[in-house]
Amino acid sequence: MKIVAIETSCDETAFAVVSVSGPSSAPRFRILKNIVASQVKIHAPFGGVVPNLAKREHLKNLPLLLKQIDPRGTLGKNIDMIAVTVGPGLEPALWTGIQFAQELSQKWNVPLAGANHIKGHLYSFLLSPATARLRAERKKLFPAIGLVVSGGHTILVLAKDLHHYVKLGETYDDAVGESFDKVARLLNLPYPGGPALEQLAKKGNPRAIPFPAPMMNQKNYNFSYSGLKTAVLYYLRNLGAAANDFSPSAEQKKQLARIERRGTVAADVAASFQYAAFHVLTAKTIRAVREYGAQTVFIGGGVSANKELPRLLKEELKKNKMDLPIIIPPFTYCQDNAVMIAVAAYMDGVQGVSWPLRADGTLDLTN
């Protein structure tokens, strides 16, 4: 079957054409078209996504992208389904995609299905060559632990099989990607902060500053990232105050000397923050792997583009004498895209799961 998918939940307008073959227990997705129009430059001066600007850009981009994927206007003739993100995300942005998809569905006379953005990130592991390889080797994939780490979500999931998921825990406040963006802003890094912070962290020492790893010792699978961001804020403020202080502490003196000597303090802050943020993610993932006897771990969402996360997870798994595959989607499918929306809509369709065609900013993983 052939699916056209549309994604407009945040600041990327995305279109994809995906063909699906094989049994529903092991579907194969062939990406025929995949276009993403990023709005990063428009939102960058504001340091974050402005919902009404996002809406305006989606309205402008959607017909342009359709023209790009269907220059001759013939695509509708051999499409079986249109899929569109209905949530979670920014509601004004979501509505633009839903309305555009509704018009297309009428024009082409093709059924329209709503899709869940979080499920899109979760199912992105199906787009990884690692999944195909494990299947070819007849390795067991499930039960699996899934991690969705993005600008809006930090969710740990138990996947009993390809179709059955249970949410084990999530963040109480900021998402991990959001905390990367906020800390990046404190460090005067360009928007979006995550990739810039990862680059800066490579030059720093992750053990230089012992930032708190929140909720680390709580025996649940929940997370909290707003305290970590505040700890970074206070740390930087203290340093700033010490610079104007005639009697800084010995530790502050040491840090100030380092700023003057090598300008490395920002890199150390970035590396130490990143370590604290990922340490708690990896520790809870490993605990879940052990508790549920997971065969694989898969990670999706914007933060899965960060190479340090799987590296640290692998290192920690090794320390715990565990060896299991970590599946990450190819870079293009870590970030928001419409291919994952086609995948999520297909996977829900075969299970008879449907989502109302109504923008829902706080849509959960299960309905």
Total site size for ligand KG4, rule CB under 6 A:
20
> Would the CA dihedral through 112, 32, 12, 153 be positive or negative?
positive
Whole-number Å distance between alpha carbons of 178 and 51: 16
How would DSSP label each residue in 35-70? EEEE-HHHHGGGTS--HHHHHHHHHHHHHHHHHHH-
Distance between CA 4 and CA 103 in Å, rounded?
13
Q: Which two tokens stand for residue 181?
A: 């963006």
Q: How far is the CB of 75 from ligand KG4 (least distance, A)?
A: 26
Pick the piece of the chain touching ligand KG4 (CB under 6 A) from 135-143, 159-167, 188-196, 213-221.
188-196
- Give the residue with the Cβ less far from ligand KG4, 92 or 302: 302
In whole angstroms, give the CA distance from residue 232 to residue 345.
40
Query: Cα–Cα distances in Å, from 326 out to 35, 76, 141, 296, 329?
Result: 27, 38, 11, 6, 10
Residue 152 interacts with ligand KG4 (CB under 6 A): yes or no: yes
Task: Please give the structure tokens belonging to residue 214.
Answer: 């929140």
Q: Give residues in contact with Zn ion (CB under 5 A).
A: 150, 336
Q: Which stretch binds ligand KG4 (CB under 6 A): 156-164, 263-271, 303-311, 342-350?
A: 303-311
CB burial of 27-53 (b: ≥16 within 10 Å; e: otherwise) equals bebebebbbbbbbeeebeeeeebbeeb
* Helix residue ranges, H only, the chain: 40-43, 51-69, 91-108, 117-123, 129-136, 176-186, 193-201, 226-243, 250-262, 265-292, 308-319, 339-351
Piece in contact with ligand KG4 (CB under 6 A), picked from 22-30, 124-132, 149-157, 215-223: 149-157
Contacts (CB under 6 A) with ligand KG4, residues 305-344 = 305-306, 335-336
Pairwise CA distance, residues 60 & 55, whole Å: 9
User: 180 or 225, CB closer to ligand KG4?
Assistant: 180
- Cβ closer to Zn ion: 150 or 171? 150
Contact between 151 and ligand KG4 (CB under 6 A)? yes
Q: Which is nearer to ligand KG4, 152 or 349 (CB)?
A: 152
- Residue 198 partner contact from Zn ion, ligand KG4, none using kind-dependent CB cut-offs of 5 to 8 Å: ligand KG4
Residue 181: name its binding partner from Zn ion, ligand KG4, none (Cβ under 5 to 8 Å by kind). Answer: ligand KG4
Of the pair 110, 211, the CB lying nearest ligand KG4 is at 211
State in angstroms the smallest separation of the CB of 8 from ligand KG4: 12
Does residue 210 have a cis bond before it (omega within 30 degrees)?
Answer: no
Binding piece for ligand KG4, criterion CB under 6 A, among 155-163, 193-201, 234-242, 260-268: 193-201
| From Zn ion, ligand KG4, none, interface partner of 193 (C-beta below 5 to 8 A by class) | ligand KG4
Where does this chain bind ligand KG4 (CB under 6 A)? 10, 150-152, 177-178, 180-181, 192-195, 198, 301-303, 305-306, 335-336
